């Protein structure tokens, strides 16, 4: 049985709700994100979660859900991007380092607030590593977190593929509200994919993303031991699917 503690940095917005405790005596509840809401939901009320699981006695092949984690993790969704401020879906990896994929003015304010709250939580009191996607808004988020928490930029480790925003295929360029159609399909099967498109945007299922985030965790759990790691994702899907995998939730949720 996993022993998990989760702490919300801000008051939980309406789209975050608690699931039952993992044991009858455990009072700390795991907050999971209702993925059927818009991608912008986590930008409107930014939250970061602290996941703490007892350290493993030995290492082996990483599997979901893991019996133990060797490190302590904070999962952070990047602030609002310029594209999101315009209400546009943008998941093509070709554009991930463009200026338009960077933080909007609102997004920058969200991350400054979140970085200060992480500081209040003592996330980096004894040092931490920050692993952001190379996507512009995620890397900018990592830089702000590092500056506020007085962490050297040498502790920012850009991730080039495993943390890419989920590719939404033919939904690329559409209004953000259209993503609710993708999430409705996700509840039927984690293997359902968005319709494809020929502009280079991947059309990823929940299962595809699950493979990516599992590979990321395998790297982190192998490379580090008893460290604090802040994972910064450009979207919410990576984090909700990762959380579901860590605690063994049905991926359709």
pLDDT digits 0-9 by tens, 196-221: 999 999 999 999 999 999 999 999 99
Whether 100 has a pLDDT exceeding 70, the answer reads yes
Q: Average the pLDDT over 84-98 and give the result.
A: 95
CA–CA dist 42, 163 (Å, integer): 17
| pLDDT given for residue 59 in this prediction | 55
Taking 70 as the threshold, does the pLDDT of residue 48 lie above it? Answer: no
The whole-number pLDDT of residue 253 equals: 83
What pLDDT is stored for residue 93 in this prediction? 95
More confident residue, 14 or 192: 192
pLDDT of residue 24: 30
Judge if pTM exceeds 0.75: yes
**185 exposure class (CB count in 10 Å sphere: 0-12, 13-18, 19+):** middle
- Report residue 99's pLDDT band, with 50, 70 and 90 as the boundaries: confident
pLDDT exceeds 90 at position 27: no
pLDDT greater than 70 at residue 25? no
- Assign 9 a pLDDT band (cuts: 50, 70, 90): very low
- CA–CA separation, 203 and 169 (whole Å): 4
Can you give the pLDDT at residue 60? 60
Alpha carbons 130 and 158: distance in angstroms, whole number: 8
């Amino acid at each position: 049985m996993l022993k998990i503690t989760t702490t919300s940095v801000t008051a939980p917005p309406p789209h975050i709700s608690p699931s039952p405790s993992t044991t009858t005596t455990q009072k700390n509840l795991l907050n999971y994100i209702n993925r059927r809401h818009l991608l912008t939901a986590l930008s409107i009320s930014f939250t970061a979660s602290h996941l703490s699981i007892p350290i493993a006695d030995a290492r082996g092949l990483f599997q979901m859900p893991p019996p133990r984690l060797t490190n302590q993790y904070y999962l952070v969704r990047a602030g609002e991007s310029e594209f999101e401020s315009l209400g546009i879906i943008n998941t093509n990896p070709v554009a991930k380092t463009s200026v338009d994929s960077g933080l909007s003015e609102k997004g920058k304010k969200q991350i400054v607030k979140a970085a200060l709250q992480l500081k209040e939580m003592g996330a980096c009191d004894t040092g931490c590593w920050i692993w952001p996607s190379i996507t512009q808004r995620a890397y900018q988020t990592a830089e702000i977190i590092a500056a506020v928490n007085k962490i050297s930029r040498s502790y920012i480790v850009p991730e080039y593929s495993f943390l890419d925003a989920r590719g939404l295929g033919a939904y690329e360029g559409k209004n953000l509200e259209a993503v609710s159609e993708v999430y409705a399909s996700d509840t039927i099967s984690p293997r359902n994919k968005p319709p494809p498109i020929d502009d280079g945007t991947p059309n990823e299922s929940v299962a595809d993303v699950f493979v990516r985030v599992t590979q990321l965790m395998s790297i982190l759990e192998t490379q580090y031991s008893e460290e604090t790691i802040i994972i910064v994702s450009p979207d919410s899907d990576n984090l909700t699917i990762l959380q579901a995998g860590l605690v063994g939730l049905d991926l359709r949720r």
